[in-house]
Amino acid sequence: MIYNASSFIYLLKQQGINFFSGVPCSILTGIIRELIDDDSVTYVSSTREDEAVGIASGAYMAGKSPVVLMQNSGLGNSLNVLTSLSLIYKIPCLMLVSWRGYKGKDAPEHLIAGDISEKILRVAGIPFFVLEKENIENVIMSAMKLMKEKSIPVVILIKNGVLG
Amino acid sequence: MKRAEAIKTVLTVLSDELVVHANGLICRESFVINDRPQNFYMIGSMGLAASIGLGIAVSKPERKIVVFDGDGNVLMNMGTLAQIGTLCPENFYHFVFDNEVYGSTGNQPTLTNVIELEKVARASGYIKTYRAINSGELRVIAEECLKIKGPVFILVKVNTEYDKKIERVSHAPEEIKKRFMAVI
């Protein structure tokens, strides 16, 4: 099945996701537009990526099942909160991270971040999956399962064009 | 007033409100004064106490959320003030203990000897802001502000004195979280 922003969000909601916070990225535009218009979930637009993780962490402790959205450039902004809050308190969230600079095809400011995104996550000990058109359901299920088992953030990297 | 005295004054007024504590000495002083299960102590992630409080506030509108913050913390993520003012959660009470220095790291000056953070909060959309400079005033403000709809910002001017031998929060991070979640 080909997923677009709307059906992708539906899939997340089916998995119990009911709270979103994040900083926009052009790759995530469709998803964020849907979320803003969707009265059945909360979307808190954030000013920084680490703040989005903080807000999601509060929501989790208050009983929500949160998603954080950000561009991969925001992973650097989030390293402190991930290592000194999420990982040590074991506060999970599903992180949808757009992957600018994938395979070196992008504007100059995205190339280094694009090249090191997976390395940053490996070094920090944050599990991640790469979303492809043909593995969307599997990735969501596996990421949610791992997130619940380990009670830590799990990242799904989203390349441009994967969500139709 | 010492920050510990200010924290004690506010804690005396609270009942079952949830309190998110910014990292550092604020946690340690509050832990020693009254280690309530409704206290969430941050041991890291400077600047994010208000974000965590905001996430709780919008998810649990029926509960009152208090944040114990510091001036250095607020300055670190000042965009959070705009976000709180814009979302305008009625159940959000933001106490900022302002000693004008980074106290845990050797009293290097912040910027709040010049910048009045309650004015930033006001301009950012907080419904009501206060400034307290002694514990009598603070007690009256704390009692009053918890009865009104927020978001409310209370700037509490404190000095840099603290007990150098103050103990650390003895609970492990996961334990802090579990205990806190059990009373939300």
B184 at A interface, C-beta within 8 A: yes
Residues of chain A neighbouring B66 (CB-CB closer than 8 A) = none
In chain A, the N- to C-terminal Cα span, in Å, equals: 11
Cross-chain residue pair A63–B42, CB shorter than 8 Å: no
Q: Shortest Cα distance from A94 to chain B (angstroms)?
A: 15
* CB contact at 8 A, A99 and A114: yes
Mean pLDDT on B47-52: 98
Residue B22, helix vs strand vs coil: coil
Question: Is the torsion defined by CA of B94, B100, B103, B105 positive or negative?
Answer: positive
Mean pLDDT on B4-28: 97
Residues of chain B neighbouring A43 (CB-CB closer than 8 A) = none
pLDDT 10s digits, A36-64: 999 999 999 999 999 999 999 999 999 99
Mean pLDDT on B117-121: 98
- With a CB cutoff of 8 Å and minimum separation 6, the contacts of A45 are A21, A22, A23, A24, A32, A36, B83
Cross-chain residue pair A60–B55, CB shorter than 8 Å: yes
pLDDT 10s digits, A96-138: 999 999 999 899 999 999 999 999 999 999 999 999 999 999 9
Domain ranges of chain B: 3-182
Q: What is the pLDDT of residue B104?
A: 87
Say which CATH architecture domain B3-182 belongs to. 3-Layer(aba) Sandwich (3.40)
Q: Shortest Cα distance from B173 to chain A (angstroms)?
A: 5
What domains are there in chain A, each with its CATH number? 5-158 (3.40.50.970)
* CB contact at 8 A, A60 and A17: no
B45 at A interface, C-beta within 8 A: yes
Task: Indicate the average pLDDT of chain B.
Answer: 97
Q: What is the pLDDT of residue A37?
A: 94
| pLDDT > 90? residue A164 | no
Cross-chain residue pair B56–A58, CB shorter than 8 Å: yes
Q: Which chain B residue has its CA at the smallest distance from A47's CA?
A: B79
